[in-house]
Chains A and B, each alone.
Chain A
Amino acid sequence: MPQLIKNAAVSDDAWTVVRDAAAVDALPAGPVIVPFGLWRTERAALLARGSVGVWLAPSDDPAAIADDAAQLPVIAVDFPQFTDGRGYSTGRLLRERFGYSGELRAIGDVHRDQLYYLSQCGFDAFALANGHPLDAALASLSDFADGYQLTNRRTPWFRRRGPNHAVVE
């Protein structure tokens, strides 16, 4: 079975990402993550089938899936190239604005060197691009212990800084 990083550990991946899907009947057996386009047209049939998640392209507006998010165990965001950073905003919007609390998975051209930033934007699952060893990649999740900004995982450092930290060492 394929593997991924989930909740900061390597685990088996039961989900199949279906890149092109014309019809619900044509989907493979088992849990599937379908394109947002199919979800929009076949929402009822997909809910009836069950075991379904949705993946968003960088240009898909997360607002468009906000109302359905609570019913989806997995939402994936595709990174066609790792340098296409739109998915970082998609992740934060899903988590922070639309209250999505299920698995948020990065798929596509995902490398270990992006995991830390992705995790700060709300992603908790990472299906790395082919050939990237997962065990080594785990370490990159903690490239930084903390950061300055407000993110999905933390308030800005200036809100957490105690009085002792204000002193220059």
Chain B
Amino acid sequence: MYRYDHFDRRIVAERVAQFRGQTQRFLAGTLSEDDFRPLRLQNGLYIQKYAPMLRIAIPYGMLSTTQLRALAHISRKYDRAYGHFTTRQNLQLNWPKLEDVPDILDELSRVEMHAIQTSGNCVRNITSDHFAGVAGDEVVDPRPYCELVRQWSTFHPEFAYLPRKFKIAITAATTDRAAILVHDIGLQIVKDDTGAIGFRVIVGGGLGRTPIIGHVIREFLPREEILNYLDAILRVYNRYGRRDNKFKARIKILVKERTPVVFARDVEAEWEHVKGGPATVPDAEIDRIAAHFPAPAYQSFAGDDAGYKSELADNRAFANWAKRNVHPHKVPGYAVVTLSLKKTGVPPGDVTSDQMDAIADLADHYTFGELRVSHEQNLIFADVRQCDLFALWTELRAQGVATPNIGLLTNIVCCPGGDFCSLANAKSIPIAEAIQQRFDDLDYLHDIGELDLNISGCMNACGHHHVGHIGILGVDKNGSEWYQVSIGGTQGGSAALGKVIGPSFAAREMPDVIARLIDTYLSHRHEDERFVDTVHRLGIDPFKERVYASTH
């Protein structure tokens, strides 16, 4: 993975010093709360319901075991010995002290980490495919391009005070695991007829209050032009994005109001001025960054491991886990493993400091000392020998991160919700837990099959409820917590927004509501049809009738 050189290291150290000074001025009363807020947000620091929350950047989800151990140490020393992985591949600490944050950032900087631009109205952490580099369906490893864009976005002087936050996702695969259609900018790395690498540029997608699928504004942008083109998009947005209403300030509203065609024309006109200029990326720079992402020292295997195959045949629990949590690898004899952070009774995405240390040890032993965070709030070991899978499974079980539920209903994507977040209308973690408890029977869960369930505690949609096959949104009705249910959303290349089935429900009704949706599906499904496919085939009416017939 990318390693800092002296330049990267200095810039992060300078940031720590700058923020230390700002924090001291705030604590001394010479920097007002209003003036400090945008500064602390650009260092990932929120003031939450009960305590500050610090969001630590994990650029495009890549994490070394050294870094994971540092996170274990930091969460133990400065917080309550756990952390929460988010849908943007970051890690949140829920209980740090404001005055400790400069020290936390200092400790992070020593392992080449930071909290730069993880909040605020600026370009946020770049997200990507959690199978980058090991997926069979990618044109090229997207991570060097993610790093290039990360560096461009870090302390970009012109774009630190945008109308609103700005999220960029990059994938190089044909199957979109980075949700590029619902980002401010989605970049799909593609090759043209001559084999040249470039980007398909999608702008103006997003969830939140106004969910919109992004628009392609350019089918092929030569890779060397990427920073010029990003400058052009951001400049158009910075100058003309709405600043009068924060709910209409995202780029998706600008794109919608101007129409995608006119917006694209504005961007292209701006690009004409800067095209071929000094920010054009030389091949040597892409090569330099790419050299940080070499293929690991894979052993040579002829094909699938025979021992693994017989263990699959002999052990049903192992086979269940392998079916859900083990994914194909492009190299024969290797596999990709997802560590489920969705065990029933544990808030989705939460990991204790002790688990972090243990997982770091396992990643050193069973893979090449690196791991990834997925936007579904799980961890990934990208390079595991098939012959080690059984031993790894045993160890992961001992750590409580081997729940065989990836892609299933209990792999719930969930924001921190009203338990922590001051924006939330309603709690989300207890809803997730109640649903997980209701569907704790593994055979039943596997029979239901693939199902994405997403929960957001408010319409900011951190839990991406719009693109869940079942989406749950916390709403406030006269000061009490209610839940609106939508079905039929999908993520990925065929991203679609779910449809709301009707009036919202009380928290205690939610497991029954989900059960009735599932019953409807089971009684209507065609063979091999996923829940979401049945919804798309039948529409929402049969589901709606069943749910409301029995509750009202």
Contacts and interface: CB of A to CB of B under 8 A. Distances in A.
A40 interface: no
B35 A82 contact: yes
B311 interface: no
Contact of A146 (B7, B239, B288): B7
Contact of A151 (B157, B162, B288): B157
Contact of B157 (A147, A157, A169): A147
B19 to A, nearest CB: 10
A165 B6 contact: yes
A74 B281 CA distance: 35
A88 interface: yes
Interface string A147-169: 11111000111110100011111
B9 interface: yes
B126 to A, nearest CB: 13
A84 B161 contact: yes
Contact of A157 (B3, B7, B243): B7
22 contacts: A83-B38, A85-B121, A85-B158, A85-B161, A88-B157, A88-B158, A111-B35, A117-B157, A121-B158, A145-B14, A146-B7, A149-B155, A149-B156, A149-B227, A149-B279, A150-B227, A156-B278, A158-B281, A158-B285, A165-B5, A166-B5, A168-B3
B243 A84 contact: yes
B153 to A, nearest CB: 9
A89 interface: yes
A116 to B, nearest CB: 7
B157 A155 contact: no
A92 interface: yes
Contacts of B157: 88, 116-118, 120-121, 147, 149, 151
A113 interface: yes
B291 to A, nearest CB: 9
Interface in B72-96: none
B538 interface: no
Given A82-B38, A166-B288, 11 more contacts: A86-B239, A88-B157, A88-B160, A88-B161, A111-B35, A155-B278, A156-B227, A158-B285, A158-B288, A161-B7, A167-B5
A165 B231 CA distance: 25
Interface string B156-188: 111111100000000000000000000000000
Interface string B493-534: 000000000000000000000000000000000000000000
Contacts of A155: 278
B9 A169 contact: yes
A129 to B, nearest CB: 9
Given A84-B161, A148-B152, A143 B18 contact: yes
Given A83-B121, A85-B238, A148-B151, A92 B158 contact: yes
A97 interface: yes
B162 A85 contact: yes
Interface string B104-147: 00000000000000000100000000000000000000000000
Interface in B14-43: 14-15, 17-18, 22, 35, 38-39
Interface of B: 3-7, 9-11, 14-15, 17-18, 22, 35, 38-39, 121, 151-152, 154-162, 227, 231, 235, 238-239, 243, 273, 277-279, 281-282, 285, 288
Contact of B5 (A86, A97, A169): A169
A30 B513 CA distance: 74
A150 B5 contact: no
4 nearest A-B pairs in the assembled complex, by CB-CB distance: A85-B161, A120-B157, A117-B157, A158-B285
A98 to B, nearest CB: 11
Contact of B155 (A97, A147, A165): A147
Interface residues of A, number: 38
Given A156-B279, A159-B278, A149 B161 contact: no
A99 to B, nearest CB: 13
B39 A113 contact: yes
Given A82-B161, A144-B14, A165-B7, A158 B282 contact: yes
B547 to A, nearest CB: 44
Nearest to A116: B157
Nearest to A88: B158
A121 B277 CA distance: 17
A148 B243 CA distance: 27
A10 B14 CA distance: 24
A121 B161 CA distance: 13
Contacts of A113: 18, 22, 35, 39
Interface in A83-126: 83-86, 88-89, 92, 97, 111, 113-114, 116-118, 120-121
Contact of B238 (A86, A114, A140, A161): A86
A146 B11 contact: yes
Most chain A Cβ neighbours within 10 Å, of B154, B157, B235, B243: B157
Given A86-B238, A158-B285, A148 B9 contact: no
Interface string A58-97: 0000000000000000000000001111101100100001
Contacts of A145: 10, 14
Most chain B Cβ neighbours within 10 Å, of A89, A117, A151, A158: A158
Nearest to A113: B39
Nearest to B121: A83
A83 B41 CA distance: 12
Contacts of B155: 117, 144, 147-149
Contacts of B160: 85, 88, 117
B5 A168 contact: yes
A158 to B, nearest CB: 4
